[in-house]
Amino acid sequence: MYPFLSDADADNWHDFEVGSRREILALLRGISEKKQMIRMLPVGDTDMCVTTILHIDADNDAVLLDRPSDPEETARLMSGRPVSFETTLDNIRIIFGTEVMQLGMHEAVPALKIPLPPSLIRLQRREFYRMATPVGNPVKVFIPMPEEQGGGDAAFQLSDISCGGIAILDNRFVLGDSIGHEYGGCRIDLPEIGPIVTGLQIRNSQEMTLMNNKANRRLGCQFIDISPGAMSAVQRYITKLERERNARMAGLK
Q: Which of 55-64, 86-95, 134-143, 196-205 has the lowest mean pLDDT?
A: 86-95
**136-195 pLDDT per residue, tens:** 888 999 999 988 877 789 999 999 998 889 999 998 888 887 888 999 999 999 999 999
Kind plus residue range of the DSSP H or E element containing 241: helix 228-249
12 burial (CB, 10 Å; 0-12 / 13-18 / 19+) is: exposed
Average pLDDT score over the chain: 86
pLDDT on residue 253:
43
How many angstroms separate the CA atoms of 3 and 46, rounded?
A: 9
Q: Is the pTM of this model over 0.85?
A: no
How many angstroms separate the CA atoms of 113 and 120, rounded?
A: 17
Put the strands of the sheet holding 102-106 in their side by side order. 53-57, 62-66, 109-115, 102-106
Helix residue ranges per DSSP H, 12-88: 21-33, 71-77
pLDDT on residue 14:
67
Asked if residue 86 lies in contact with residue 9, where contact means CB atoms within 8 angstroms, the answer is no
Average pLDDT on 53-64 reads: 96
How many angstroms separate the CA atoms of 145 and 141, rounded?
A: 12
How many angstroms separate the CA atoms of 187 and 162, rounded?
A: 16
How many angstroms separate the CA atoms of 200 and 197, rounded?
A: 10
pLDDT on residue 11:
52
pLDDT on residue 1:
61
Q: Which of 164, 199, 167, 201 is nearest to 181 (CA)?
A: 201
Q: Which residue has the higher pLDDT, 166 or 208?
A: 166
Q: Which residue has the higher pLDDT, 208 or 54?
A: 54
- In the predicted structure, residue 207 carries a pLDDT above the cut 90: no
Residue 124 — very low, low, confident or very high, per pLDDT cuts 50/70/90?
A: low
**6-52 pLDDT per residue, tens:** 555 555 566 678 899 999 999 999 999 988 889 898 888 877 888 99
Contacts of 230 (CB under 8 A, 6+ apart): 196, 197, 198
Q: Which residue has the higher pLDDT, 209 or 157?
A: 157
How many angstroms separate the CA atoms of 210 and 90, rounded?
A: 22
How many angstroms separate the CA atoms of 245 and 239, rounded?
A: 10
- Indicate the SS3 state at residue 111: strand
pLDDT on residue 248:
76
CA angle 226, 140, 194 (to 5 degrees): 60
pLDDT on residue 162:
87
Average pLDDT on 226-242 reads: 87
